[in-house]
Structure 1
Amino acid sequence: MPYGVLGPTLAGPAVAAGGARVRALLARLLLDAGRVVPLPRLIDDLYGENPPAGAVNAVQSSVSRLRREVPISYDGSGYRLDVGPDEVDVHRFTRLAADGRSALRTGDFAAAASLLTEALALWRGEALADVRSAPFAVVAADRLEEQRRQAAEDRIEAELHVRPSADAEGELRTLLALAPLREHTWALLMRALAAGGRPAEALAAFEEARRVLAESLGVDPSPELQAVHTGILRGDAGPARRRLPAQLTSFVSRPELDRAREALRTARLVTLVGPGGAGKTRLSLEVAGRHPGEACLVELAGIGPDDVARSVLDALGLRDTGLRDRSAGPDTLDRLLAALSTRELLLVLDNCEHLLGAAAALAGRLLVACPGLRVLATSREPLGVTGEVRVPVAGLPIEAGVRLFAERGASAAGFALTAADEAAVRQIVRTLDGLPLALELAAARLPVLPVDELARRVGDRFRVLSRGSSTAESRHQTLWNLVAWSWDLLTPGEQSLARDFTVFRGGAGLDAIEQVCGLGAETLDVLDGLVSKSLIERDGSRYRMLSTIRAFCAAQGPASADRHASYFLQLARTADAHLRGPDQLIWLDRLDADRDNLHAAVRHGSGEVALRLVAALSFYWWLRGARGEAAALAGELLGRVGPSAPPGLAEEYLLCRLNAGPSQRDEHPARYLQTLDRPPAQPFLLYLSAFAAGPPESTDDDLMEVQESLRARLRGSPWCEALASVGSAWIGLFRGDPAWAEREFALALVSFQALGERWGMMLAQSGLAELAIARGDRQAARSPMDEALRLAAELHSDVDLAEMLRTRGDARMLGGDPDGAAADFTESMALATACGAPEVVASSRLGLARLALHQGDRAEALELARIALAECPSGWYTADGVRLSIKLVLGQAAADPQEAAHWYRQVVEEASGPDAINVVAAARAALESL
């Protein structure tokens, strides 16, 4: 604790400096840390009833000296030490002691022992040891010492429940020497001696307590003491006996602990269900250790189904003493039923999966006949007994996994987790699904592998994690053996489905499993078996497999990649049609759920299937701002397919090239648009083609004729016709015909509203907003821009959101809101970077450059514009338009007229992309003025 009074006064890591009066002032403020202590009370506490004449000045002087070390404030009435209560040992002690006592009263003895041990560890000596001369200190110290004694008694009582022994005898006798009339302390001493197997000494302690009470108070022992005395005489005093093995390593807490304990409060059979290595055994021991009554562990690993009852009998210490047959026959079971019929007991049946029927039968029989019995089982599948409550046990959460790895690493190799190592450890935890056994095996490699190298190699988990504790069972010594134990318990059908399931990425729904895994009508029953055996997990309506189990099952034989690719092609096609209608959001979520599967299908499907998949996913990728992923997948596919389109796949091939990026686009988009005589089979091809090729080369006079011709060729596809209106509107805006643009944007908005298609509505609304900004009416731009931003956020369309934020930034800059503009440009850059839209990153950085220019910072504007030019791609007209605008700003920001002229001439010569007319006009005007 940085501050403390439970010993010499602390201000930081060292004893507080200064004289006794300064330390006393600090101690008094620490007792009320975070609260104002009125000045009159402070003077009384420090000086008593007759303070000296200069007491106020003395306090102020002491405060001034203290402020060099600690934060103190004055509110006009008194002084306050500005630190949190948990930074002061006395307040932390009080909280921990109260929490520990509360846990003790509710029967959570292990938690109580831990909390109270932590509380008492804060004491460094006598309370207020170096300020006892101050009037307040004596009373405060006595009160704190009483709280210390109470906490010590509570801790000892909790420990007697967790692990009964006489270990606390010496501490209890010390407490009695200080306070011999505390009857509860005598009771604890008697219980401890009895728990340690020393009942005669416990009875002698009772007689000594009786004598002390009679001589000092003239009273007999209290009912509590008499009850303990009677219990010792009967042989049943003290906490319940526990037959649980001591653990050699620490336990990292996990959410399942509380769930299992809560379940045991109401249910009599609770089963911890999870895959091998998930830590079910250790968790069961922690649950049993916190159980308020008697508990016993029965280890079932390595025995046969006929030996279950005998194993329980042996674990309870009820071994046969004769020479007759000890097999699990009627005599054994009858003895077990008789022994448990009146007993309050938690029976832990560990590792039930390989003898599930026998374990379930015995548990059911015992629970019916023994009303005081509770059973906690661990298994890779439920026992299936009536009334069973299942508590799933999965891998540890990331933070808990990091703690476990660090603790085991410290034991194995003196490993100390640092900030530099944390990323590697997190990667190890994620790769190993947080499975405790796998993390322990990984930590055991730290003596020979540095943590970053271990993180790099742990993907080859079965080779790297091949050496565990020599004292562990063979299946726990290597990760391969652990999973193989589960595999060998599967039926042939379950092995087949588990092997085929490995083709999925990120899990799958039931329909996909039925179609891909090829078991037909048997799929549901077989899948149920794998879920019950913890080889597959159900997460809502989807199923998933831990990567460790998946790696093992994949090694058992090939899965059906062709069926997988065919199924997800059909899903993508079905979804694509719905993406252009009112169910857009539903199908976006549906595709999101299987995004990993869809991308895997592109990679392992045949060339034809993969091209059709890329075509069907193009609109989805655009809506989700996944341009980087799309480009990578499309580029890989082009390398497989070759330089020309396969027969009958011209549109699909062109979409693949358009998705792959500017280097793959060349003249194909323009040629495609010129030859288009019907709506494309994949409608989004129209948008990507226009995006890459730019507006048609035509004069203002034949603009309407060109657009009407295109609309006629698209007739029969309402979505394509509406999109054509958006394109027509932008052409009108770029060529200086705002009336034309407004009519076309309005027509597009009405058409997309009729379809219920949000992305199209967003395009039309953002176009109307830009049109209003272009004519200087920022008030009129607000409503359509807000609506466009709302639609983009609803769609999670990061590319579009980034572009609109950039547009709003321009409007805010022109409207005199530089801070708002800078925020919009910065957020736009972040979104565009995340979704792989470099031209939007460049245009947003250009916005920041323009803003710097507006504020007179030419050097900053020049630097930002140069970066924007370097990061802006070329090859399609929107990016070329951004490059043109960047060069205009480079000319405007240049201090040297010759450099400025160089950039202006480039703008005039290149003159490409949207807004070229306005940019070129500005460059020509600037050249004339030089």
Structure 2
Amino acid sequence: ICRRLDGLPLAIELAAARIKLFPPQALLARLDRRLQLLTAGARDVPERHHTLRDTVAWSYDLLDPTEQALFRRLAVFAGGCSLEAVEEVCASEEDGPMESGVLETLASLVDNSLLVSRSESSTRQEEDDEPRFTMLETIREYALERLVSSGDAEGAQLKHARYYVELAEVAQPVASRQWDEVEWWSKFTRIEREHDNLRAALGWAVQNREVETGARLALALWWFWIERGYLSDGRRWMERLLALDGAEDPTGETRRKLPARAKARLIHVTGILSMVQGDHERAVTLHEGAMSMYRGMGHKRGESASLRELGFVAYEQGDYERAVRLHERSLELAREFATTFSIAWSLRALADAVHKQGDLGRARTLLEESLALSRDKEHAWNISRTLASLGSVECQAGEYALASRLYEESLNLGRRMRMSLTILRCLEGLARVALAQRRMERAAWLCGAAAALREDKGWPLPPARRAEHDCTVTAIRGAIGEEAFEATWARGHELPLEEAITDAMNNDE
């Protein structure tokens, strides 16, 4: 309750008075409307301290009209904003650009304790700190009320959504481009910093049935959602947008549908998130729908991508024969119509399925071709994933030292790119290598570290991998005993991820 009330003494005092009516949990659930709830303060205090609204209103009334206008418009930002965002979003049609006086107006709001300014820098690559402006949620609730009553809310929220759509599209990391470590980090960091604003823009788009705006945002964010563990959140937005496309609004008006290619892409990406979450039935339905649309448009690259994703689902279900057929067709189309990145991706996908059928020679050949293509174009994402696949092949071939080196190279690159799925695969692969080398303690804690990462990101263990996982755990448990296994597994499970990665790469332990 104290955290939700921003630690404000008056707000906490007023909340304490409500405990007579509401148990703490019930009070907490009502704090989204804190201004209506927290009233009737002590009688022997100034009138402006009788209610939370009176206190904020008193400060607001001291502002001049320009300061009041900016204060109201700042309510559209969730989790704070940059100076650039203020200048772009908070200018009205009448006022024009705000660059000239915005700093003085912001400074006044900070001086009046209605706004907080802090450093925006969060990475070592940034040499100059940029200010970030944040409202306490209690104050933001009041500002939003004022914005709505002014009649300016719709315009301000539209500008906010447009600004963050453009930001997301520019900032999204693109795996198929030549990798630049500083740029990659900078983009992920910027999206993470603005995640609350991006969610707010998505919420506005869904609420106002602006499907095209919402789709642009979602398609810019899906990669971030997977790698940073926002799967449930991302998939929920995707499904809501799909449900809204072409539907009637409450007035009976049918909104304009998404362009066919954007709709197919949205379906395709929703299928990817569904598969990662383990909802294979939904993933198949979506990918088959996207493939049908791509075929109808004659979009061979899209068809190849849909076939590849259907192959991934078949792989996760343990249907390796079907996975091989789908990946072979995907690769055939990719070689003719797609980019080098897509060809390398399809080669790796086919190799993984062929590997599961026991053809290590063909799997190795496919992976070596994929790796060569990816290294030539400096596609670090594909390089890392392909190295991990090669590690798996060499582990099964009994080349344990080579398998370890491949996994460690992949893991190092995955750490630098913060590719959580690759990190997970390497931790699990290194555990199998350690088991094969009879290094049971190492194998046990690696299993624990991998399990922690799965739990943190919300990635269930696919059914087809369950048997291999259970076999690995049973073998380790049998070798060192129940008590030692549980203790060592727990140690790995509790390790911070960065420390687990460092220890995993220290193969001399």
TM-score by length of 2: 0.74
Structure 1: how far apart are the matches of 2:228 and 2:376? 23
* 1:588 aligned partner, one-letter code: F
Change (3 A) 1:608 1:529: same
Pair 1:512–1:703, CA change in 2 (3 A): closer
Between the two structures, name the one with larger relative contact order (CA 8 Å, sep ≥ 6): 2
1:562 alignment partner, one of 158, 164, 171: 158
In structure 2, relative to structure 1, the CA distance for the partners of 1:678 and 1:535 (3 Å cut) is farther
Output the CA distance in 2 between the equivalents of 1:838 and 1:594.
Answer: 28
Distance 1:527 1:749, change over 3 A: farther
Secondary structure at the counterpart of residue 133 of structure 2: strand
Aligned-pair distance for 1:554?
0.5
Aligned residue in 1 for 2:98 = 522
Q: Please state if 1:572 is matched with 2:184.
A: no
Q: Distance in 2 between matches of 1:626 and 1:783?
A: 31
Distance 1:658 1:700 in 2: 19
C-alpha distance 772-846 of structure 1, shift in aligned 2 (>3 A): closer
Q: Is the 8 A contact 2:341 2:374 kept in 1?
A: yes
Per-residue CA shift, 1:542-563, capped at 9, x if unaligned?
A: 2211101100001113332222
> Is the 8 Å Cα contact of residues 826 and 844 (structure 1) preserved in structure 2?
no
The one-letter amino acid of 2:35's match is F
Q: For residue 107 of structure 2, what is the amino acid of its counterpart?
A: D
Match of 1:594 among 180, 194, 201: 194
Work out which of the residue numbers 657, 681, 701 in structure 1 matches 2:270.
Answer: 657
**Contact residue 410 and residue 422 of structure 2 kept, 8 A:** no
- Match of residue 331 from structure 2: 707
Counterpart position of 1:621:
225
Match of 1:551 in 2: 141
Q: Is contact 1:576–1:616 with CA below 8 Å preserved after alignment?
A: yes
1:769 touches 1:782 (CA, 8 Å); kept in 2?
A: yes
Q: Which residue of structure 1 aligns with residue 211 of structure 2? A: 607
1:48-90 CA distances to partner (integer Å, 9 max, x unpaired)?
Answer: xxxxxxxxxxxxxxxxxxxxxxxxxxxxxxxxxxxxxxxxxxx
Specify whether residues 470 and 764 from structure 1 end up closer, same or farther in structure 2 by C-alpha distance, changes over 3 A only: same
SS of the aligned residue for 1:445 comes to helix
Structure with more of its chain in helix, by fraction: 2
1:451 is matched with 24
Q: 1:692 maps to what in 2?
A: 313
TM-fit CA distance, 1:833: 1.8
**Aligned counterparts of 2:305 and 2:196: Cα–Cα separation in 1:** 22
**Which of 521-530 and 781-790 deviates more?**
521-530
Tell me what 1:463 maps to.
Answer: 36
- Contact 1:742 1:768 (C-alpha < 8 Å) held by counterparts: yes
Matched position secondary structure for 1:555: helix
Question: Relative to 1, partners in 2 of residues 1:603 and 1:701: Cα closer, same or farther, differing over 3 Å?
Answer: closer
1:780 maps to which of 396, 402, 414: 402
Q: For residues 500 and 684 of structure 1, what CA distance do their matches in structure 2 show? A: 43
Q: Is the 8 A contact 2:327 2:349 kept in 1?
A: no
Unpaired segments ≥5 residues, structure 1: 1-427, 865-930
Residue 746 of structure 1: aligned partner: 368
Q: What are the Cα deviations for residues 187-243 of structure 1, in whole angstroms up to 9, with x where unaligned? A: xxxxxxxxxxxxxxxxxxxxxxxxxxxxxxxxxxxxxxxxxxxxxxxxxxxxxxxxx
Q: Any residues of structure 2 matched to 1:822-861 within 5 Å, and which? A: 822-839=444-461, 843=465, 847-848=469-470, 850-852=472-474, 855=477
Work out the CA distance in 2 between the residues paired with 1:690 and 1:510. 46
Q: Which letter maps to 2:459?
A: A
**Distance in 1, Cα, partners of 2:330 & 2:186:** 36
1:677 Cα deviation (Å)?
4.2
Equivalent residue for 1:533, pick from 112, 116, 121: 112
* 2:242 paired with 1:638: yes
Residues in 2 aligned to 1:608 and 1:701: alpha-carbon distance in whole angstroms: 35
Letter in 1 for 2:199: H
3-state SS of the aligned residue for 2:98?
Answer: helix
Deviation at 1:670, TM superposition (A): 4.5
Q: Please report how far the alpha carbon of residue 708 of structure 1 lies from its aligned counterpart in structure 2 after TM superposition.
A: 4.1
Contact 1:612/1:652, CA 8 A, preserved across alignment? no
Selected match of 1:796 from 377, 401, 418: 418
Amino acid at match of 1:630: G
Q: Distance in 1 between matches of 2:266 and 2:330?
A: 26
Per-residue displacement from partner, 1:154-195 (whole Å, max 9, x unpaired)?
xxxxxxxxxxxxxxxxxxxxxxxxxxxxxxxxxxxxxxxxxx
Change (3 A) 1:445 1:578: same
Alignment match, 1:498 = 71
Letter of the structure 1 residue corresponding to residue 266 of structure 2: Y
> How far is 1:514 from its partner?
2.1
Deviation at 1:657, TM superposition (A): 3.1
> Displacement of 1:576 after TM fit?
2.9
Distance 2:473 2:453 in 1: 20
State the distance in 2 between where 1:438 and 1:746 align.
63
Question: What's the offset of the Cα at 1:456?
Answer: 2.9
Deviates more, 1:650-659 or 1:432-441: 650-659
Are residues 705 and 497 of structure 1, via their aligned partners in 2, closer, same or farther at CA, if it must alter by over 3 Å?
A: closer
Deviation at 1:594, TM superposition (A): 0.9
**Partner Cα distance (1:842, 1:740) in 2:** 21
SS in 1 for 2:147: coil
Which residue of 2 is the match for residue 363 of structure 1?
none
Q: How many residues align?
A: 430
Q: Distance in 2 between matches of 1:554 and 1:510?
A: 19
Structure 1 stretches of 4+ with a deviation exceeding 6 A read 642-645, 683-687, 695-706
Distance 1:565 1:601 in 2: 5
Which residue of 2 is the match for residue 224 of structure 1? none
Q: Rate the CA distance shift 1:440–1:452 in 2: closer, same or farther, 3 A.
A: same
Overall identity of the aligned pairs, in %: 26
The residue aligned with 2:437 is 815
Secondary structure at the counterpart of residue 76 of structure 2: coil
From 31, 42, 58, the counterpart of 1:485: 58
Shift of 1:485: 1.0
The alignment's TM-score, normalised by the length of structure 1, stands at 0.42
Kindly indicate whether residue 89 of structure 2 is the aligned counterpart of residue 513 of structure 1.
Answer: no
Query: How far did residue 812 of structure 1 move?
Result: 2.1
Q: Secondary structure at the match of 1:539?
A: strand
Q: Deviations over 1:412-444 (max 9, x none)?
A: xxxxxxxxxxxxxxxx12101112222222233
Map 1:669-680 onto structure 2 (within 5 A): 669-670=287-288, 672=290, 675=295, 677-680=299-302
Stretch deviating more after TM superposition (566-575 or 526-535):
526-535
Q: CA deviation at 1:588?
A: 1.0
Matched residue of 1:839: which SS? Answer: coil
Q: Amino acid of the residue matched to residue 239 of structure 2?
A: G
